Amino acid sequence: MNCKICSKLLQEYLENSISEELISELNTHLKECRRCRIFFRTYSLTVTLSQRIETPCCVSSEKIKELTSLLHERLFPK
């Protein structure tokens, strides 16, 4: 395992799509290589921070009512 392969595997690692064997090779490299370790941690944390971005929730119930009645009119006219 070298640094180049290590950084390529990172994304697949986060997708849980690499083998146990590769994971242990990756871990061995991360223990030895400070640059990759930092890269790995900050890359993963970037993903985590994006996952925590919030939406100022949600569609208002008035909007849903308005939409539903519009849909009734157009799709299921009496």
Partner 1 sequence: MSKQSEKLSDAALVTEIKHGDAEAMEEIVRRFSNKVYNLAFHLTRDASAAEEIMQEVFLTVLSKIHTLTNEAYFATWLYRVTTNASYGFLRKEKKFTEQTLIDDTNSEHSAVYDWSTLPDDVLLSEESSEVLRTAIDTLPDTMRTVVIMKDVEGLKNEDIAQTLGLTVPAVKSRLHRGRLVLREILSDYFRKYSDPSGDNV
The site for Zn ion (CB under 5 A) is made up of: 3, 6, 33, 36
26 touches 9 (CB < 8 A) = yes
CB of 73 to partner 1, least distance (A): 10
Instruction: Name the residues that contact partner 1, by CB under 8 A.
Output: 3, 7, 11, 15, 34-39, 41-47, 49-53, 55-60, 63-64, 66-68, 70-72, 74-76
Provide φ and ψ at 32, rounded to 5°: -85, -25
Q: CB-based contacts of 4: which residues, under 8 Å, 6+ apart?
A: none
Min separation Cβ 47 and Zn ion, Å:
19
Q: Which residues contact 9 (CB under 8 A, 6 or more apart)?
A: 18, 22, 26
Residue 5's binding partner out of Zn ion, partner 1, none, with CB under 5 to 8 Å set by partner kind = none
